[in-house]
Amino acid sequence: MRLEGDGLYLRPYEPGDATPLLDIVLRNRNFLAAYEPPRPDAYYTLEGQRHIVEIDSERWDAGLRYAFGVFLPSGRIVGRVALDNVVLGAWHNATLGYYIDRELNGRGLGTRAVGLVVEFAFRRAELHRVQAAVMPRNPASARLLEKLGFRREGRALRYLFIGDRWEDHDMFALTIEDWPRGRRPLV
């Protein structure tokens, strides 16, 4: 599975990506710590990154998570976008998570990468709804979602454990009715 965009492509991580993945997570450790749940020390090892690749692959096969690496045309890994907690039935919903290498922020990579994964969610994974949760102190992420047409639905109090505390989050969502083919030529 490969998603092609303007100046980037996305594909699931492969076992051979573990070394460059370790490099990006180490370089962005302090940056991402402000936005992510606490990570065990093992996460910052080659074995830990191999484990992430394996778990992503198992969850993809089970239809529970669709995780993509974000790559420049050169093959450099610059981030990750994942649809997680995929539930079908009456919900057909997934949660969205993403990051882009801090040194490449502000160039539109995040918006284009998330746009490609939303397109995948609606056109290939046949989901009806995609949701994302953003801390009020993360305006770049909120702006990214608004550029893609996400609705701000309200504030969920003490929603996720980030760093060392339960943080309030603003809930954003799109349903397929908001994403007609051709209306948003972002991807």
DSSP code for 92 = -
Q: Are 111 and 148 in contact (CB under 8 A)?
A: yes
22 counts as binding ligand COA under rule CB under 6 A: no
Single out the residue of 27, 29, 107, 155 in contact with ligand COA (rule: CB under 6 A): 107
For residue 170, give the H/E element and its range. Answer: strand 165-175
106 binds ligand COA (CB under 6 A): yes
Q: Does 139 participate in binding ligand COA (rule CB under 6 A)?
A: yes
111 Cβ partners below 8 Å, 6+ apart? 144, 147, 148, 186
Q: Is 42 in the site for ligand COA (CB under 6 A)?
A: no
Q: Should residue 110 be labelled a site residue for ligand COA when binding is judged by CB under 6 A? A: yes
Residue placing its CB nearer to ligand COA in the complex, 18 or 148: 148
Q: How many residues bind ligand COA (CB under 6 A)?
A: 20
Please tell me what DSSP assigns to residue 156.
E
Q: Which is nearer to ligand COA, 109 or 173 (CB)?
A: 109
x/- binding map, residues 86-105, to ligand COA, per CB under 6 A? ------------xxx----x
- The values of phi and psi at residue 161, to 5°, are -85, 110
Q: Rounded distance, CA 119 to CA 176, Å? A: 9
Distance CA 171, CA 93 (A): 14
Contact footprint for ligand COA (CB under 6 A): 32, 35, 98-100, 105-111, 132, 134, 138-141, 143-144
